[in-house]
A and B are shown apart, each in its own frame.
Chain A
């Protein structure tokens, strides 16, 4: 196989990864690392570098729209980014020290968990209008657009949300994923921020989080232009198509099917890590 053929194949696979990532809500990054390591035998450090780059591209594109429409809470995003960027740097440095097999096993475990979570119905948190001293001092309370007009919300439990965001940052830097699901849990479940604001603000943070880790990967020589190019272009195209499909098709069955697929991929990652070959 020559460079052109490999580029085409990786590009096509990345379109698929971006598509599935958008339809399941897991994000494109989650599918790229298994695709590159399992199907193309790429070293996992190169795979993570390419994945981080694609994560910056897709999240920045989506974040642009959410910010414009007023869903994103820039203050919350800015504050939690202290946690996610610090974590991302730690994760990226850890990845340089960890053997490929250990990263593969951890990746498989996180993938398996995300697949399970993505099929669960989102739990609704009760409306909580009591003010929180710390969130108030940080002026985090905000409002967001609904069909019935702007609605105000209050933010709670900032320290716990900050801690979870730090863990999400470590996973992002270590595994080359956006870790959006964990960021949404931190905001939606823990800080009791409305779901739409949580997902928009998570998207806003993903690009910055990935950029912190990607800088480390770049300077350590883990980002190969020949590999990152088809991945970035493919995932961006795939996510774009996926986002448009989401609006017109019923995704419940699709999510279930993909979750089974993602679980199988996760098992493969773990097996390859345990028995070598990752």
Chain B
């Protein structure tokens, strides 16, 4: 199990970094000379908030969309690790830890869905 977990973590971070770097190139080459506005919180557009929205934005070739997709891959890396643990514990019939992994997995999905609020 340790080897697989290690591989998933490393692959996830590498893939995420690649997407972020690629998106950064697109974004900075197009919008590098514009004025940034971060002082007051206005919130990201709907397209950069949800899995489906980000996927669409990235496919349309938006630099910010591709960066956000990279960040989403990064966010999915620990989730994939927990899913892998879930399968591994299920395979050795370790019921206690199947339940534990299941709860953690549910919490992570709840977070991505917008939290309990």
Chain A residues with a Cβ under 8 A of chain B: 1-4, 6-7, 40-43, 45-46, 53, 56-57, 60-61, 63-65, 67-68, 70, 72, 74-75, 78-79, 81-82, 85-86, 88-90, 92-93, 96, 138-139, 207-208, 210-216, 218-230, 232-233, 236
Contacts and interface: CB of A to CB of B under 8 A. Distances in A.
Contacts of A92: 111, 115
Interface residues of B, number: 68
Contact of A67 (B2, B35, B48, B104): B2
Nearest to A72: B2
Contacts of A68: 2-3, 6
A89 B112 CA distance: 10
Contacts of A7: 24, 28, 32
Main secondary structure of the interface of B (DSSP, over half): helix
A74 B112 contact: no
B35 to A, nearest CB: 6
Interface in B1-33: 1-3, 5-7, 9-10, 12-13, 16-17, 20-21, 23-24, 27-28, 31-33
B6 A64 contact: yes
B1 A74 contact: yes
Nearest to A78: B100
B40 to A, nearest CB: 6
Given A61-B13, A219-B114, A225-B71, A207 B24 contact: no
B96 interface: yes
A81 B103 CA distance: 9
A65 B115 contact: no
29 contacts: A3-B33, A45-B41, A60-B78, A64-B6, A64-B10, A68-B2, A74-B2, A78-B101, A82-B107, A85-B107, A85-B111, A86-B107, A88-B111, A139-B94, A207-B81, A212-B107, A213-B111, A215-B108, A221-B45, A222-B44, A223-B68, A224-B38, A225-B23, A226-B64, A227-B38, A228-B71, A229-B24, A232-B20, A233-B17
